[in-house]
Amino acid sequence: MTATTPEEPTRLYERRLPSGGYVAIEVRPVRTLFGPMKIRGQVVVERRPESRRPGHRAPIAAFAEDAREEEIVLALLPIAKSDSTLAEVLARKVTVPVSARRRWEIS
């Protein structure tokens, strides 16, 4: 179990979507109840027009936790780069947990 810290996320990757908006990988430190600090990475997908973004968070398509940012980016990058995977995840209205130790394979 983890509790997030109030820090703003750091964006490590961003690309524009063909239909407008963006997909990004953001990371932030999280405090665990009984263990060391971890880093949580999230793939966020923003498709709303800029005028509708204030006050709303972008949907999270996938997340991973690890002690190193590099491992999180390596785990989440295949999802963030695949328009078809993002569309499938968002259509199902789910968030995909990704293990940083087991890389995501796009089939």
Residue spans of the domains in the chain: they are: 2-97
Tens digits of per-residue pLDDT, 40-78?
A: 999 999 876 566 556 667 888 899 999 899 999 999 999
Contact 104, 73 (CB under 8 A): no
Strands 96-97, 22-32: pairing kind: unpaired
Rounded to a whole number, what is the largest CA-CA distance in the chain? 43
Count CB atoms within 10 A of the CB of residue 35.
Answer: 10
Contact 21, 52 (CB under 8 A): no
Tens digits of per-residue pLDDT, 1-17?
A: 455 445 789 999 999 98
Contact 19, 49 (CB under 8 A): no
pLDDT confidence of residue 88? 87
pLDDT confidence of residue 41? 93
Tens digits of per-residue pLDDT, 13-45?
A: 999 988 788 999 999 999 888 888 899 999 999
pLDDT confidence of residue 5? 46
Rg (CA), the chain: 14
Reported as half-sphere exposure (CB side, CA atoms, 13 A), residue 85 has a value of: 19
